[in-house]
Amino acid sequence: MISKELQHVREFEKSESAFIAKEDRPVFHLSPRIGWLNDPNGFSFYNGEYHLFYQYHPYSSYWGPMHWGHAVSKDLINWEYLPAAMAPDTDYDGAGCFSGTAITLPDGRQLLMYTGCGDSSRDPLGKGRWLQTQCVAVSEEQDDGSIEYVKSAGNPVICEEDLPEDCDAYEFRDPYIWRTTDGSYRALVAAGRTGEIGEDGNYLHEKGTQLILFRSDDCFKWEYDKVMFEDHRKIGVMWECPNFFDLDGKQILIASPMDMQAEADEANGSIRFPQGSNVCCIAGEYNEETETFSPDGTYDPVDIGLDFYAPQVMKAPDGRHIMIGWMQDPKNGRFADAKEDLSRPGLQDALPLYNPDGYAHGPEGSHIFGQMTIPRELKYRDGKLYQWPVREFCEYRKDRLDYDGVLLKDEERSFDGISGRSIELEVEIAPHEVGAAFYREFTIDFAKDDDHFIRLSYKPARSLITIDRSHSGQCSEITARRSYRAAYADGSLSLRILIDKWSAEVFVNGGEQVMSLTYYTPADAEGITFSADGTVAMDITAYHINRG
Ligand code: FRU
């Protein structure tokens, strides 16, 4: 029943993950059971629990043939690993089971829809690249009460013949599935447009990207419906991992475009989007009858930090929309550890952003790499997407500390009890009195020892907020800093910062903006300092985060 590949990986992950000490994992962010993790997949609530699957290469801490890892949680914070759900074990997904989503069928089974990357026997154009098709797997309860996801005998359920002209069957992935009000199903799938072929024989993607809609009555037989959304290279190429849902009266499209050009923010000379991979939010109206999405006309970054990609949004039973993302910038990813891996057919083409000098290093000797963000509740207000850590996170707060009305004047300070690598800070700052001259800069350094620190700083004159990991100890060429315009102009700023062992998430002004990043300063670099150039009035509340 279970393929030998799946059986092998399950034995491997069980025995090898036993050697990973709790201290070697993030405290409150989900990491792979063993090996490498990228996108969240199949984020859902099923059988009384939250399920999170993830892109998973258990056999090394680098990207490789993709499996689906699996974890469940009652509260979105404390995750329990289940055996890997899928392995690349057929001709249609032998090069990898790529990203996808989950839905509960009317008969109570859970269906996973994902992208199969075909092995070399499925290469109709002889490109030496991976043909990408859409596939399904359905939960089946076993005698012992556990669940297996059985790949459908009808796979692939959407393939190259179903694509409209000009679509690139080798860049066709990440189905997002939902049920419409009439009970039929839709899947929105990202597709590159073939465009011109360059001199080197590779596609240039000149014609941009499409999100293509397919329809089905049962999730097993699909037909092409229409091109729902098109972008002619204005916003990058290949909008990976689309999400499409209604939120507070708006229809929201969140997707992850590759290869964007940098976009400046004229208002203060900072950058709205850096070049490369980004996550974009587009709000608009959706007419379900005509299946027409009419964007309001703007697109915004979802996270303005250094590491955030391919998020997935689910609707919880209590109606909350909850988003979780892969906390890594793919262009600093670790895509191969061995020369022979790089020579695997299709790998070079599939990973145009591979940069052998620019990948992120994990902690010394670690056998895991990659982590998810904290799950975030979403709201749409006044034309903006707000994100806030799920309320369940507050259950893990311990030892509240308050420092109110602190005046910080041209100095650097630390505070008793405020240090560590598993801590939450709420910091409110303002110029020290109304009408006073603005301070010039406010800075928080954390994950700090004598030689290392991560710096979050704010310059009120330009409303410029900056996150900087130049001093994290990493020597290769990863992106080290990013500045963005914070909306407040009166010198006040409100921050909620979740500091974990290898990452931080900074929620600015009530979640109007979020900056996520990873870093690997030594684990005992626990210092946190606050400093001001000028005079700042500051209130701090801190909690240590304890998962027991
Ligand atoms: C995004 C992505 C997806 C793909 C998966 C492969 O990070 O490239 O488009 O399905 O990762 O691991």
Asked if residue 84 has pLDDT above 70, the reply is: yes
Could you identify the atom of ligand 1 that is nearest to the CA of residue 256? 1
Place of tokens 């692939």: 156
* pLDDT per position as a tens digit, 483-503: 999 877 688 899 999 999 999
Ligand 1 pocket, residue 98 CB under 6 Å: yes
DSSP bridge pairs for 111: 103, 138
Asked if residue 3 has pLDDT above 60, the reply is: yes
* pLDDT per position as a tens digit, 90-143: 999 999 999 999 999 999 999 999 999 998 888 777 777 889 999 999 999 999
Given a contact cutoff of 8 angstroms between Cβ atoms, the answer to whether 50 and 40 are in contact is: no
CATH code of the region 4-237+307-388: 2.115.10.20
Ligand 1 pocket, residue 238 CB under 6 Å: no
Ligand 1 pocket, residue 99 CB under 6 Å: yes
Ligand 1 pocket, residue 37 CB under 6 Å: no
- Residue 66 is given by DSSP the state B
Q: pLDDT: is 492 or 349 the higher one?
A: 492
338 C-alpha to ligand 1 centroid (Å): 20
* Mean pLDDT on 9-14: 96
Place of tokens 């591979």: 354
Task: Name the residue at shortest CA distance from atom 6 of ligand 1.
Answer: 98
Given a contact cutoff of 8 angstroms between Cβ atoms, the answer to whether 482 and 308 are in contact is: no
Ligand 1 pocket, residue 65 CB under 6 Å: no
* pLDDT per position as a tens digit, 173-219: 999 999 999 999 999 999 988 765 666 766 554 567 899 999 999 99
Q: Which band of pLDDT confidence, cut at 50, 70 and 90, is reported for residue 442?
A: very high
510: helix, coil or strand?
Answer: helix
The pLDDT of residue 334 is 66
493 C-alpha to ligand 1 centroid (Å): 35
End-to-end Cα separation, the chain, in angstroms? 38
* Mean pLDDT on 46-68: 94
How far out from the chain centre does Cα 27 lie?
A: 18
Residues 6+ apart with CB under 8 A from 397: 424, 543, 544, 545
Ligand 1 pocket, residue 209 CB under 6 Å: no
The amino acid that residue 315 corresponds to is: K
290 C-alpha to ligand 1 centroid (Å): 30
The pLDDT of residue 64 is 87
Ligand 1 pocket, residue 330 CB under 6 Å: yes
Q: What is the pTM of this model?
A: 0.94
The pLDDT of residue 123 is 78
* Mean pLDDT on 378-382: 97
The pLDDT of residue 338 is 41
Is 56 exposed, middle or buried (CB count within 10 Å of its CB: 0-12, 13-18, 19+)?
buried
User: For residue 2, which of 146, 116, 130 has the smallest C-alpha distance?
Assistant: 146
* pLDDT per position as a tens digit, 500-510: 999 999 999 99
* Mean pLDDT on 304-322: 97
Domain map of the chain by residue range? 4-237+307-388, 399-545
**Rounded CA separation 353/51 (Å):** 30
Asked if residue 359 has pLDDT above 70, the reply is: no
The pair of structure tokens assigned to 253 is 């499209």
Residues 6+ apart with CB under 8 A from 235: 257, 260, 280, 299
40 C-alpha to ligand 1 centroid (Å): 10
188 C-alpha to ligand 1 centroid (Å): 15
pLDDT, averaged across the chain? 90
Ligand 1 pocket, residue 38 CB under 6 Å: yes
Pocket test for ligand 1, best of 53, 67, 115, 174 (most atoms within 8 A of CB): 174
Q: pLDDT: is 353 or 466 the higher one?
A: 466
Could you identify the atom of ligand 1 that is nearest to the CA of residue 326? 7
Could you identify the atom of ligand 1 that is nearest to the CA of residue 115? 10
Could you identify the atom of ligand 1 that is nearest to the CA of residue 174? 10
Ligand 1 pocket, residue 171 CB under 6 Å: no
Asked if residue 349 has pLDDT above 50, the reply is: no
276 C-alpha to ligand 1 centroid (Å): 15
Could you identify the atom of ligand 1 that is nearest to the CA of residue 309? 7
The pLDDT of residue 426 is 98
Angle at 23 between CA 13 and CA 5, to 5 degrees: 10
- Residue 548 is given by DSSP the state -
The pLDDT of residue 340 is 40
Ligand 1 pocket, residue 55 CB under 6 Å: yes
How far out from the chain centre does Cα 348 lie?
A: 23
Task: Name the residue at shortest CA distance from atom 8 of ligand 1.
Answer: 240
Angle at 397 between CA 395 and CA 403, to 5 degrees: 140
* Mean pLDDT on 406-430: 97
Out of 3.40.50.1100, 2.60.120.560, 2.60.120.260, 3.90.1150.10, select the CATH number for domain 399-545: 2.60.120.560
The pLDDT of residue 269 is 82
Given a contact cutoff of 8 angstroms between Cβ atoms, the answer to whether 118 and 125 are in contact is: no
Ligand 1 pocket, residue 210 CB under 6 Å: no
Neighbours of 318 (CB within 10 A): 7
**Residues belonging to the active site:** 39
The pLDDT of residue 344 is 47
Could you identify the atom of ligand 1 that is nearest to the CA of residue 238? 9
254 C-alpha to ligand 1 centroid (Å): 15
**Rounded CA separation 271/484 (Å):** 6
The proportion of the chain whose per-residue pLDDT surpasses 90, expressed as a percent, equals 74
